[in-house]
Structure 1
Amino acid sequence: MTLIRLPENILALAAVCLTSLMFGLEISSVPTVLSTIEKVLNADFSQIQWIMNAYTLACTTVLMATGALADRFGRKRVYLASIVLFGLTSLGCGLAQSAPVLIASRFLQGIAGGAMLICQVAVLSHQFPEGRERSKAFGAWGIIFGIGLGFGPIIGGLIVAVANWQWVFLVHAPVAIVALALVLAGVQESRDPNAQQLDVPGILTLSVSCFGLVYFITQGADLGYSSPAALSIVAATVFSFMAFIFVEKRSGRPMFDFSVFRIRSFSGALFGSIGMNFSYWPFMIYLPIYFQGALGYTSVTAGLALLAYTVPTLIVPPVAERLALRFDARRVIPLGMFTIGLGFLLMMFGARAEHASWLTMLPGCLLCGTGLGLTNTPVTNTAMGSVSPDRAGMASGIDMSARLISLAVNIALMGLILLEGVHAYLTRALSGFPDASSLRLLAAQIAGGNIGHLPQSGAGIATVDPNGVIANAALVDGFGFVMLYGAIGAWAFALLSVAVFDAGARAHRRAPAVDNGVRRPSP
């Protein structure tokens, strides 16, 4: 049977591709408008981080729950509900008049986005159960999702240039209506008669521990890292994570089956998933700040410059698949992360060049995108191919959760490193600055790329730095630390991946051969 003879499958595939485009755009288009949002809504640097992190944390929270709900109550029904919620929350984001309202709307939008993402996979798996058509369907879904991620920055920049920042969110409302029509017309309803109960304790404890960690990273400086409030947050985070491990190990049907970590190929691939989201994806949130704040580019120019960072992720995956077939994924995955790290190092040198521009950043951006393209597809294929089909859903949930948790934590960590790097530079350059609290506020404004508005709240900065030379140098210096962190992180996870993969290969060579479950001597 072909897609042409099954028009409902064409409509279902169109619905899945359209919603994957929405999800991809919502991740990659928003960073290019953060500086605009910061100015229009008078948001501080911490709130800018939460505009991104609220979405990511919410996605992580619902990933495992959505799969169980869709299996029990119907995948089409949950898919429709997630699209409706995504459209409504996108309207809420576009109509927000303050940063707290936008953050709350982004959290709700993240819940809808995470549910929508899981339903996409479930719908494709049911609608295209096997054979060549299944491969085509998942291939089309991956391409469209990649297009949303790859071209989101320039689309976001163009929307701001032609209309205003609100339409980066509002545009999803009419698209959601079209997606609803396609789902109603083409998606078949399906359920799992053996669906599992929701792992509520696991979901709650994991969510609290992730939120607590991110909150401590982003708000620790304001609270005081050794203050009773900060220490209470740390204690609650550690306790929640320990409780998560306890309830998952005691559960008969755990959300996270820790036994899969004994599968070396799965664990090696998982380090690749974490490595990508430790470096490449969180830095995408901050790179537009460098282009607009340090280099003075408009949102459109910044979006165009970001294409060098994102477009290779669309071009390289077919090459990565061929390399994985020829040299094995356990070599290609660490190679990809090493390439990402090398790209970060080149970006650091490019940012600190005497006449820095998008051209000095180009080699590093291209290498980072190439590294992600080399890593992403082999990671997914290896992780899913390492476990039995009946555990694929759980393994996919672990992989996706690891990615999103790593992304959320490192959005916060990169922001902290950037802020502290800028603050350290200002402390050295403005040793006579009268007010330490004003200096930290100034550092937060610079870290957000808001250099042009510094005289309004800079407590005397206009007199010592009227042309913004010190502020610009502080921003570049702070970004240097962030890029170095990205390089070290990518290389560290590359080494961990190599170690785990090699340990698995050695164990496989030592293990006696098995034929039909009967141990036999190795040749």
Structure 2
Amino acid sequence: MNRVNPRLTLLTASGVCSLIVLDTNIVAVTLPTIARDLGANFADIEWVVSAYMLAFAALLLPAGSIADRFGRQKTLLCGLSLFILASIGCGAAPNALFLDMARAIKGVGAALLLTSALASIGHTFHDEVERAKAWAFWGACMGVAMTAAPTLGGLITESIGWRWIFYLNLPVGLLLMAMVWRAVPESRDPQSARLDPWGSLAFSGSLLCLIWGLIEANRIGWSNPITYARLIGGALLLGLFVVIERLQRRPMVDLQLFRHPRFIGALLGMFAYAGCAQVMMTLLPFYLQNGLGFSAIASGLGMLPFALTMLICPRIGVRLSSRFAPATMMASGLALVGGGNLLSAWAVGSGGYLPFALAIAVTGAGAGLLNGDTQKNIMACVPRERTGMASGMSTTMRFSAIVLAIGVYGALLSSHTEHLLRGSLSAQGTQWLDQAQGIASRVVAGDMAAAMSLLPDSAQPLIEPLARQAFVGGFTLLLAVAGGLGLLGALVVGTLMRHPIPLAGSAPAVAATRRARA
């Protein structure tokens, strides 16, 4: 095998990950436009994001095993092929259901890509200093992609149409395939576990039931027996997954690692970061468009304070990590995220863009400190030959948190908006109360025109400001809950991460232990 420049391998793997991050975040500013074009309500729009995230999160663990067993280069090439084909399907979607299905297939390709790309980086760089630099570069690439995504999405949507945010993945994907072929050496774990179809099905089914229950609860009712059945079924399937993994000789998830508080803290740090900070890249543009009336491109530009601080802070984090223990870094990042979300809730309630921009800049700063640190701390807890498993576990936590957060925050936003709107409508009389659910669902999705079409022309000037005010109230609650969860995460993760690293004897373990004792 020809020797490959490690830096070129890092560039290629980071490029693959950047494509996924760009594609994930570029959709956010286009969702209201997609809702108007396809006649979709808020539940339909939630599925545009959740179908992708659900397939992504559910298949990350088996994708890690596939990368370990069959080779990271082969998995990258297969994942890119699937990702490109599904992107074409998304661009050509005639309705919301077709778009959701194509997005789910795209999530499968993204899962194959991300785990194998991260495993390639972990396998290539094993010196502690070089690995830290590699993850810092990877984090910077993710930051650039996140920074560019909202503005690029708004620009494409307003200039040539939202479908081109998917079509443009074709040339980019083909370029990355050529780079993978040349720059990523084949690597695998010769002792990798057999594929675990039953465990994969149990975990996938658990996420599906939970997110299905959360998204559909506002439509069919939280007291509906079907809602209870979906949520309880999700919890039972998650328990079944644990039982299945305990019975495996070499499981897809090494449950022995969960005996170590340090490892649990690292995973919870990833979960809290994704569920309180990264998910905001999807949700904040809804406020900019629905609450402040921004266009798609203006809302993309409006996200720059968040994206820029998220881009800058990983470099600051690299310098600070040499002086402070990982527990301090993780807790500080989550505290900034929690505080930023609480400030955003205040800014949304007070109105105006400037205070909102300053608040989301604080959230972005916390996200920037956490972006590379979370991944690094998890990977440090496992042997080098099981980097595929570690990357699968860490990214599963990341995207499981995002998909569950979208379900939870979406449920809060939709239900509280409807509750506030019903209160406002009842003060005006009872003749429009029957339309409250339909109005709220379309307002939250960003289609005010469709919401107002449910009312007679004479009532629209009166109801439109009430609907917008109800949305702002719902979004304030969403941000307040996210802020509280971020601060709670800072406390719990900071406590757990102060325990010694589980893998004593390895170079990363020794260094991390020294920092923890410092």
Q: TM-score, normalised by structure 1?
A: 0.89
- Equivalent position of 2:505 in the other structure: none
Is 1:99 the counterpart of 2:90 in the alignment?
no
For residues 401-455 of structure 1, the C-alpha deviation after alignment (integer angstroms, 9 at most, x for no partner) is 1111111111011111111121111111110233544211111111122224432
- Equivalent position of 1:402 in the other structure: 397
Is 1:220 the counterpart of 2:217 in the alignment?
yes
Q: Which moved more, 1:466-475 or 1:31-40?
A: 466-475
User: What's the CA shift for 1:36?
Assistant: 0.4
Q: Find the aligned partners of 1:278 and 1:306 in 2 and give their Cα distance.
A: 18
Secondary structure of the residue aligned to 1:50 is: helix
Secondary structure of the residue aligned to 2:459 is: helix
1:104-503 aligned at under 5 Å gives the runs 104-127=101-124, 137-353=134-350, 356-431=351-426, 432-434=429-431, 436-457=433-454, 459-460=455-456, 463=459, 465-466=461-462, 468-502=464-498
Q: Which moved more, 1:152-161 or 1:130-139?
A: 130-139
After superposition, the Cα gap between the structure-2 partners of 1:59 and 1:84, relative to the gap in structure 1 and judged at 3 Å, is: same
Does the 8 Å contact 1:11/1:185 carry over to 2? no
User: What's the CA shift for 1:14?
Assistant: 4.4
Paired letter, 2:378: A
For residues 432-483 of structure 1, the C-alpha deviation after alignment (integer angstroms, 9 at most, x for no partner) is 23354421111111112222443212x3485164472212211111111011
Secondary structure of the residue aligned to 1:352 is: helix
- Match for 1:53 among 35, 50, 53? 50
For residues 203-256 of structure 1, the C-alpha deviation after alignment (integer angstroms, 9 at most, x for no partner) is 111110111001001112323333343333234223212211111122211222
Q: Find the aligned partners of 1:360 and 1:47 in 2 and give their Cα distance.
A: 31
Secondary structure of the residue aligned to 1:316 is: helix
Q: Find the aligned partners of 1:383 and 1:123 in 2 and give their Cα distance.
A: 16
Larger gyration radius, structure 1 or structure 2 = 1
Secondary structure of the residue aligned to 1:188 is: coil
After superposition, the Cα gap between the structure-2 partners of 1:180 and 1:390, relative to the gap in structure 1 and judged at 3 Å, is: closer
Paired letter, 2:482: G
Q: Percent identity?
A: 28
Paired letter, 2:394: D
User: What's the CA shift for 1:318?
Assistant: 2.0
After superposition, the Cα gap between the structure-2 partners of 1:128 and 1:349, relative to the gap in structure 1 and judged at 3 Å, is: closer
- Equivalent position of 2:30 in the other structure: 33
Is 1:22 the counterpart of 2:25 in the alignment?
no
Q: Find the aligned partners of 2:398 and 2:202 in 1 and give their Cα distance.
A: 18
- Equivalent position of 2:82 in the other structure: 85
Q: TM-score, normalised by structure 2?
A: 0.90
Q: Find the aligned partners of 1:493 and 1:263 in 2 and give their Cα distance.
A: 18
User: What's the CA shift for 1:392?
Assistant: 4.4
Does the 8 Å contact 1:208/1:240 carry over to 2? yes
For residues 259-301 of structure 1, the C-alpha deviation after alignment (integer angstroms, 9 at most, x for no partner) is 2122222222222111112211222222111111111111111
User: What's the CA shift for 1:188?
Assistant: 2.7
Does the 8 Å contact 1:265/1:383 carry over to 2? no
Q: Find the aligned partners of 1:378 and 1:127 in 2 and give their Cα distance.
A: 18
Count of aligned pairs: 500
Q: Find the aligned partners of 2:389 and 2:34 in 1 and give their Cα distance.
A: 37
- Equivalent position of 1:511 in the other structure: none
After superposition, the Cα gap between the structure-2 partners of 1:132 and 1:495, relative to the gap in structure 1 and judged at 3 Å, is: closer
Q: Which moved more, 1:230-239 or 1:150-159?
A: 230-239
Q: Find the aligned partners of 1:102 and 1:190 in 2 and give their Cα distance.
A: 35
Q: Find the aligned partners of 2:319 and 2:11 in 1 and give their Cα distance.
A: 28
Paired letter, 1:273: M
Q: Which moved more, 1:329-338 or 1:388-397?
A: 388-397
Does the 8 Å contact 2:92/2:163 carry over to 1? yes
Paired letter, 2:396: S
After superposition, the Cα gap between the structure-2 partners of 1:314 and 1:100, relative to the gap in structure 1 and judged at 3 Å, is: same
Q: Find the aligned partners of 1:427 and 1:29 in 2 and give their Cα distance.
A: 33
Q: Find the aligned partners of 1:442 and 1:469 in 2 and give their Cα distance.
A: 12
Secondary structure of the residue aligned to 2:287 is: helix
After superposition, the Cα gap between the structure-2 partners of 1:135 and 1:481, relative to the gap in structure 1 and judged at 3 Å, is: closer
Q: Find the aligned partners of 1:17 and 1:392 in 2 and give their Cα distance.
A: 16
Q: Mind listing any 5+ residue stretches in structure 1 that lack a counterpart?
A: 508-514, 516-523
Q: Mind listing any 5+ residue stretches in structure 2 that lack a counterpart?
A: 503-509, 511-518
User: What's the CA shift for 1:18?
Assistant: 2.9
Is 1:71 the counterpart of 2:68 in the alignment?
yes
Q: Find the aligned partners of 2:383 and 2:182 in 1 and give their Cα distance.
A: 33
Q: Find the aligned partners of 1:433 and 1:333 in 2 and give their Cα distance.
A: 51
Q: Find the aligned partners of 2:56 and 2:103 in 1 and give their Cα distance.
A: 10
User: What's the CA shift for 1:46?
Assistant: 0.4
After superposition, the Cα gap between the structure-2 partners of 1:280 and 1:351, relative to the gap in structure 1 and judged at 3 Å, is: same
After superposition, the Cα gap between the structure-2 partners of 1:380 and 1:7, relative to the gap in structure 1 and judged at 3 Å, is: closer
For residues 10-50 of structure 1, the C-alpha deviation after alignment (integer angstroms, 9 at most, x for no partner) is 65444323322211111111001001000001111001111
Does the 8 Å contact 2:17/2:142 carry over to 1? yes
After superposition, the Cα gap between the structure-2 partners of 1:20 and 1:499, relative to the gap in structure 1 and judged at 3 Å, is: closer
Secondary structure of the residue aligned to 2:366 is: helix
Q: Find the aligned partners of 2:260 and 2:434 in 1 and give their Cα distance.
A: 50
User: What's the CA shift for 1:138?
Assistant: 4.5
After superposition, the Cα gap between the structure-2 partners of 1:247 and 1:70, relative to the gap in structure 1 and judged at 3 Å, is: same
Does the 8 Å contact 1:344/1:487 carry over to 2? yes
User: What's the CA shift for 1:125?
Assistant: 4.1
Does the 8 Å contact 1:465/1:471 carry over to 2? no
Does the 8 Å contact 1:283/1:411 carry over to 2? no
Does the 8 Å contact 2:193/2:251 carry over to 1? no
